Structure 1
Amino acid sequence: MTGVPVPGPGALGAEDVTVVVNGRTLVDRVSLHVAPGEVLALVGPNGAGKSTLLRTFYRVLRPTSGHVLLDGEDVWRMPGKRLAQRLAAVLQETAGDFELTVYEVVAMGRTPHKRAFEGDDAEDRDIIMGSLEELDVAALAQAPFDRLSGGEKQRVLIARALAQRTGTMVLDEPTNHLDLRHQLDALRLVRRVGVTAVIALHDLNLAASFCDRICVLDGGRVVATGTPQAVLTRDLLAEVYRVEAEVSRHPGTGIPQITVVPDARRDGRPVERG
């Protein structure tokens, strides 16, 4: 990748984090530690607390109790600019419409590294264009962001986070709206740049393929944490997702592969009678 290298990654963690909103507990005493350079997937059914937990990492939502730590320092005690120099985020609600070009949106990622009203220098431009190229949107640099497709917008927002050049990233469903090729490209990129990353994913097969560990949430609580091989079992999928699934191993990599077994009675298909 062009431009300066990504800074060394830091350790990210949640210490007994609870989030209560309008009397409802969305995250319940979650403790989670991500080592420097590790990629961890947050998985679980809708409403499990994945997005809520990620928002506490990036200071969008303050924990009711507990602490979020970056290299041992509480993120809520850090100046906002310094946090933005060290941690980047791709959150679902950031996918709104900006009256900016694609280039200008990605250039926003350089803001934490600049003084007020300071323009882009040659290094900034190199980083911005390199990030656009990595996400296959360089040809759209001068296009209005608000006229892009959902998948194109998502790639631009990932490019913006990449241009921020932090050592740690949190990504909330970064593969949403992306076709299969760009899903793979985005997750390969996170691994290649070597950042510490926490990624909320719905696709368990992608989580198993690209993440070092998986943390399963259900009802705001941690159900299991470990390697994909240890966590993704038939029993856990039945307990958490309420589905019957077969878990096999890829013959070359040993990575778990999950196939949901349809229930004819529930899925509306004709039931064969003996």
Structure 2
Amino acid sequence: MVLKITNLKARRGGFQLYVERLEVNSVVALVGRNGSGKTTLLDAVAGLIPAEGAVEACGREVSALPPEERKLVYIQATPVDLPMKPRRFLRLVASKWGKGEWEVKEVVERLGIGNLLNSSGLSTGQKQLLNIAAGLLAEPCAFLMDEPTSHLDWFNKRIVNDVVKKIGVPVLYVTHDPFEAFYVGDVICLIEGGRIRGCRENTPADFSEVERIVKSLYL
């Protein structure tokens, strides 16, 4: 499966985004400073803001479809509040996608969130873990992830990043943290001023090499 973005144009206030071409067939980590267009790009691909151009997912053109019909899961930086207790919520999501208790158990174990299933008064980070669990149950054509680990502690951040690396469908992963990008991404792309300035394959490197590359992105 491939997520293809072609000649995508979108506006947010006075800011204009233009992406000539971006193909996502693994985990593409998108790095950029505040205001560079990262979230605007995800919102446009998801159909949350008006946009021109083409978005293709699961081999079909989805640009004219409403967000709920694009078969894309969008994990936003601020998690959505759960409308019910976590266990019931995940069961309901699983049922919607034709899945049962076994699939819920598998996702819960992958994310290590068994202790949250009967909880109330969840923290923001806990809500995010459950949002991610719901997304995994949906098995979409692609994932859009906007700083998905920003509210997580280091332990849970590592778990989520490891899950993302093995997710098996295209993932467009936005992060402010270049080191996280190099950990999770198969491809690293830099966005500035609403334009993709370049992409490169992520190859194994020692810390000093990563540091050198990070500095080259921003200096």
Which digits, 9 at most, give the CA deviation of each residue in 1:55-110, with x for residues without a partner?
Answer: 222222231x21111144221345766533xx3221124x1433411123334533
Count of residue correspondences = 215
**1:200 alignment partner, one of 174, 196, 209:** 174
**Unpaired stretches in structure 2, ≥5 consecutive residues:** none
**1:250 alignment partner, one of 200, 206, 218:** 206
1:61 aligns with 2:49: yes
Aligned to 1:142: 118
Aligned to 1:245: none
Aligned to 2:57: 70
**1:27 CA displacement:** 1.2
Aligned to 2:77: 92
**1:138 CA displacement:** 1.3
Give the number of the structure with larger relative contact order, counting CA–CA contacts within 8 Å between residues 6 or more apart: 2
CA–CA distance in 2 between the matches of 1:79 and 1:154?
24
Relative to structure 1, the CA distance from residue 153 to residue 182 in structure 2 (aligned partners, 3 Å threshold; closer, same or farther) is same
CA–CA distance in 1 between the matches of 2:89 and 2:50?
26
Relative to structure 1, the CA distance from residue 106 to residue 176 in structure 2 (aligned partners, 3 Å threshold; closer, same or farther) is farther
CA–CA distance in 2 between the matches of 1:80 and 1:154?
20
**1:191 CA displacement:** 1.7
For the 8 Å contact 2:182–2:202, the answer to whether it is kept is yes
Q: Match of 2:166, SS?
A: helix
For the 8 Å contact 2:5–2:19, the answer to whether it is kept is no
**1:106 alignment partner, one of 75, 84, 90:** 90
Aligned to 1:34: 24
Amino acid at match of 2:18: D
CA–CA distance in 1 between the matches of 2:19 and 2:28?
18
1:51 aligns with 2:39: yes
CA–CA distance in 1 between the matches of 2:180 and 2:107?
22
**Unpaired stretches in structure 1, ≥5 consecutive residues:** 1-9, 115-122, 230-248, 262-274
**1:134 CA displacement:** 1.5
Q: Match of 1:256, SS?
A: helix
Larger Rg: 1
Q: Match of 1:88, SS?
A: strand
Amino acid at match of 1:143: S
Which digits, 9 at most, give the CA deviation of each residue in 1:131-187, with x for residues without a partner?
Answer: 12211111211223xx11122111111111111123421111111111112111111
**TM-score normalised per structure 2:** 0.85
1:128 aligns with 2:104: yes
Aligned to 1:20: 11
**1:26 CA displacement:** 3.6
CA–CA distance in 2 between the matches of 1:255 and 1:108?
46
For the 8 Å contact 2:190–2:199, the answer to whether it is kept is yes
C-alpha root-mean-square deviation of aligned residues, in Å?
A: 2.7
**1:259 CA displacement:** 9.6
For the 8 Å contact 2:83–2:89, the answer to whether it is kept is no
1:218 aligns with 2:192: yes
**1:43 CA displacement:** 0.8
CA–CA distance in 2 between the matches of 1:19 and 1:111?
35
Amino acid at match of 2:101: R
Q: Match of 2:10, SS?
A: strand
Q: Match of 1:47, SS?
A: coil
Q: Percent identity?
A: 25
